[in-house]
C-alpha cells in the first residue's frame, strides 16, 4: 500500500515538472509593455514607476562602456554600437549617439535581423524591445528558462524589430509599477550602477 502511494506521489510530481517544462518550451518568454518616457540614469530612485538594470556593471563596480546622461558622455571604451533613448523615435541603435540619453549593451536584434554570439552559456535573459513602425511600443521580454544569447535573440526577432540585452543575474532586480522583477536578486541591489527608468 505504501509503495503504491509513493508511486502515485512520484508520478504526480513528475507530471507537474514535465508540464512546467512543456509550458516553458511552448511559450519560453513573458513580456510586458513599458509606458511613459524612458530614460537611462546612474542614480537609483526607489520612487520611480519603472526601474530596470540596463548596462552591465563591471568587476570594478563601474558601468561598462559609454553612457550618456543630459547630453554628457561618460564611461570608457565599450561596444561598437550605442543605444540612444530618443524622445520621439524610441530606441535608436547606431554607432553614434542619436539623443542626449543612452547606454551601451549587446544588441540582440536590429532592424529585424538576429545577431549571433559566441557565448554559449545558458542564463535567464531580459531585453528592451520595440517595434520600429511604432516607436512608442517599448516593452520588456524575459525568458522563463535558461537559454543562450543566440536562442534568446532568435525568439526576440519574432516579437520585435529591435532588442537590446539588459543586465540580469544578481544585478537583475527591478520593477515595472507594482510588478517585481528578479525578486530573488533584491539583496544584491546595492551592486547595481545604472538603470532605465520611468518617473511618475
User: Considering only CA atoms, which of 39, 152, 160, 49 is closest in space to residue 106?
Assistant: 152
Q: Is residue 11 part of a domain?
A: no
Rounded to an integer, what distance in angstroms lies between the CA atom of residue 86 and that of residue 84?
Answer: 6
Q: Is residue 47 part of a domain?
A: yes
Q: What is the pLDDT of residue 107?
A: 97
Give residue 75's region: left, alpha or beta (phi > 0; psi -120 to 50): left
Evaluate if residue 136 carries a pLDDT over 80: no
Considering only the C-alpha atoms of the chain, give the largest distance between any 2 of them, rounded to a whole number of Å.
Answer: 73
Span 6-28, pLDDT tens digits: 666 565 665 544 444 444 457 89
Range of the domain at 179: 29-198
Q: Is residue 18 part of a domain?
A: no
C-beta atoms surrounding 23 within 10 Å:
12
Length of the chain in residues, anyone?
200
Q: Is residue 6 part of a domain?
A: no
Structurally, how many domains does the chain consist of? 1
**pTM as predicted:** 0.85
∠ at Cα 129 (152, 42), nearest 5°? 105
Q: Is residue 17 part of a domain?
A: no
Q: Is residue 161 part of a domain?
A: yes
∠ at Cα 103 (190, 40), nearest 5°? 60
Span 74-95, pLDDT tens digits: 998 889 999 999 988 889 999 9
Yes or no: say if 192 and 48 are a contact pair by the CB < 8 Å rule: no
Rounded to an integer, what distance in angstroms lies between the CA atom of residue 99 and that of residue 89?
Answer: 10
Q: Is residue 19 part of a domain?
A: no
Q: Is residue 22 part of a domain?
A: no
Starting at the earlier edge strand, list the strands of the sheet with 39-41: 39-41, 195-198, 50-53, 174-176, 179-181
- Grid cell for residue 79: 561596444
Amino acid at each position: 500500500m505504501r509503495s503504491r502511494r509513493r508511486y502515485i506521489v512520484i508520478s504526480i510530481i513528475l507530471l507537474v515538472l514535465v508540464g512546467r517544462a512543456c509550458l516553458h518550451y511552448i511559450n519560453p518568454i513573458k513580456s510586458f509593455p513599458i509606458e511613459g518616457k524612458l530614460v537611462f540614469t546612474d542614480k537609483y530612485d526607489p520612487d520611480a514607476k519603472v526601474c530596470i538594470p540596463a548596462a552591465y556593471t563591471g568587476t570594478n563596480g563601474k558601468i561598462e562602456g559609454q553612457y550618456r546622461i543630459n547630453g554628457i558622455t561618460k564611461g570608457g571604451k565599450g561596444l561598437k554600437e550605442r543605444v540612444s533613448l530618443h524622445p520621439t523615435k524610441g530606441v535608436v541603435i547606431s554607432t553614434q549617439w542619436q539623443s542626449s540619453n543612452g547606454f551601451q549593451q549587446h544588441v540582440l536584434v536590429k532592424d529585424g535581423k538576429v545577431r549571433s554570439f559566441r557565448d554559449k552559456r545558458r542564463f535567464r535573459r531580459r531585453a528592451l524591445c520595440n517595434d520600429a513602425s511604432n516607436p512608442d511600443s517599448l516593452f520588456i521580454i524575459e525568458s522563463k528558462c535558461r537559454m543562450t544569447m543566440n536562442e534568446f535573440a532568435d525568439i526576440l526577432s519574432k516579437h520585435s524589430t529591435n532588442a537590446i540585452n539588459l543586465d540580469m543575474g544578481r544585478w537583475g532586480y527591478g520593477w515595472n509599477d507594482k510588478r517585481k522583477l528578479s525578486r530573488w536578486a533584491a539583496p544584491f541591489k546595492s551592486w547595481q550602477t545604472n538603470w532605465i527608468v520611468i518617473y511618475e
